[in-house]
């Protein structure tokens, strides 16, 4: 099983794109259920803040799963993939683990050291 992260952040996407890809916390159950029904995804988590939207999944086939997740975002948000694909990043395995630790420790935040992101990760989990 591999860990896969598909997302975008303040480093890769302008705010108008980030606003279109967010997943509000009060309705997170619906997209989570849909992701769990995607082929190749066995566990999932959505981290959606004002500066990032990331989907974390446990998968057997990372390449296939990344494509399914991008298609899911496009369909769920009614936004053509061509509008946001260039802003997306995909990390797998050790790179994905390194990324989540950088995010959790706020090394990947707009303000390094801000404490909110760790709580947001806990809530997402």
Residues with a known catalytic role = 50
CA distance 16 to 20: 7
DSSP annotation of 111 reads S
Residues 6+ apart with CB under 8 A from 36: 42, 43, 44
User: Which contiguous run of DSSP H or E holds residue 2?
Assistant: strand 2-9
Residue that is written with structure tokens 């709580």 in the block: 119
CB 1 within 8 A of CB 64: no
CB atoms within 10 A of CB 116: 12
């Amino acid at each position: 099983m591999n860990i896969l992260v598909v997302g975008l952040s303040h480093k890769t996407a302008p705010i108008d794109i980030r606003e279109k890809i967010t997943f509000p916390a009060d309705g997170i159950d619906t997209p989570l259920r849909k992701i769990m029904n995607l082929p190749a995804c066995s566990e999932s988590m959505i981290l959606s803040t004002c500066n990032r939207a990331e989907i974390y999944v446990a998968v057997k086939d990372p390449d296939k799963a990344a494509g399914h997740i991008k298609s899911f975002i496009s369909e769920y948000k009614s936004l053509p993939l061509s509008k946001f694909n260039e802003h997306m990043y995909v990390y797998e395995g050790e790179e994905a683990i390194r990324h989540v630790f950088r995010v959790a420790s706020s090394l990947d935040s707009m303000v390094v050291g801000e404490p909110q992101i760790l709580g947001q990760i806990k809530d997402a989990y």
